[in-house]
Structure formats: C-alpha cells, structure tokens
Amino acid sequence: MDPQSRLPLRKVKPFYFGRAQAITSTPAATTGPPKMRRLLRIDFKSPKDDYTFVQELRSNQGALVCHRKNRLHLAVIRESFSPTPLQMLEMLVQVQHPNIADILDVYFHDVNLCIVREHLDVSLFDLEFKRLVPEEWEVATIIAEVIKAMTYLLDTLPTCELHIDSVRLSLQGDVKLGMLLQPYDYRG
C-alpha cells in the first residue's frame, strides 16, 4: 500500500479550558504589543452540565471534578457563599499571576455561585517532611514563589485570607496559591 494514497487524518479543533483574554486597546493606537485584560464568562447553568464529580476533597477545599469533554482535565469546584458575589467576582477577575491558581469557569445556578479553578495536586500541608527531607534550594524556591504571590495578593485583594492549605504544588513543579474563597458545597 502506497503511503501517499492514504486518506489524511481529519483535523479537529483542540479543546482549551484556560483563561479568556481580550484586547483592551486598538492595534493602531499603540506601537507595542496590545494590552490584554481578562474576561470572566459566567454561565447561567449548573456546573454539573459540564463537569463530572470525582471526589470530595478535604474540608474547605472543594470537590475534584473532571470536564465532560476532556476527562483528563481535572479542576476544583467550590461554591461561594459571599453576600456580595458580583463584587467578589470583580475582585477575582483582577487576580492574574503565575503563582496563583487560574479561574477556569464561573457558574451561577439556583442562587449559587460556583467557581472552577485549576487543580493543583498537592498541598504543602500534605507533604511529609520527616520522611523525605527537602533540600535547602527546594525550600527556598517554594518560599520565594509564595512570597511573590502573597505580595501580589496584598496589593490586589487585601482582604483575602490564606492558610497553609492554600499553598499548592503541581506535579510539574509549579508552586501556586489557591482556595481564595469561602466554604463550598458541591455534590454531584
């Protein structure tokens, strides 16, 4: 069989569940690269339409879910009980830092505001330092990344409350802060 005679593979659009960005200035108005500002889309439907419940996480951490279109895409969903949800969303949309977990989706359904964030695999609180003692450079790196994120947060969200569970690590080595919201209740 001639390799040239095979039918080409069908091209499909990739799924991307990351941040949405919008250009805030016209290309003609600036000579440099255009400024980007973050868009926050709110879906007025249940998050259960798009996400499948995987497991309940430890208290105050949310629920681990996977996207129905991409089962390998894990996320954490938390319900906010903020008395002023619109003001909270206005503050959260300003948060854009490499050391802070990304907001993937926002849902408003049956008077509940659910926020879906990127899943980071391990909490600093969960690590057993007695069994595997980290090297000095590893501790210094984690502290430096946390300080960068906290400095940014103090400038952006001065009322934000953080705990040791907020410091999360990914399997790729990213150090990020997450869990910037009040308690949740998501059971699918």
Q: Phi and psi at residue 147, in whole multiples of 5°? A: -65, -40
Residue 57 sits at the vertex; the CA angle it makes with 157 and 66, to the nearest 5 degrees, is: 90
Out of 11-15, 34-38, 57-61, 78-82, which region has the weakest mean confidence (pLDDT)?
Answer: 11-15
Q: Which residue has the higher pLDDT, 152 or 82?
A: 152
Sheet holding 103-109, edge to edge: 42-43, 103-109, 112-118, 74-80, 63-67, 51-56
Q: In angstroms, rounded to a whole number, what is the distance separating the alpha carbons of residues 155 and 138?
A: 26
Task: Identify the band that residue 61 occupies on the pLDDT scale cut at 50, 70 and 90.
Answer: confident
The per-residue pLDDT for 66 is: 93
Domain range summary for the chain, segments of one domain joined by +: 21-177
Task: Identify the band that residue 185 occupies on the pLDDT scale cut at 50, 70 and 90.
Answer: very low
pLDDT digits (tens, 9 = 90+) for 38-47: 677 888 999 9
Mean pLDDT of the chain: 76
- Place domain 21-177 in its CATH homologous superfamily: Transferase(Phosphotransferase) domain 1 (1.10.510.10)
pLDDT digits (tens, 9 = 90+) for 89-129: 777 778 889 999 988 899 988 888 899 999 988 888 888 87
Answering whether pTM is above 0.85, one says no
Rg from Cα positions in the chain: 20
**Is 45 in contact with 27 (CB distance < 8 Å)?**
no
Out of 8-22, 64-78, 144-158, which region has the weakest mean confidence (pLDDT)?
Answer: 8-22
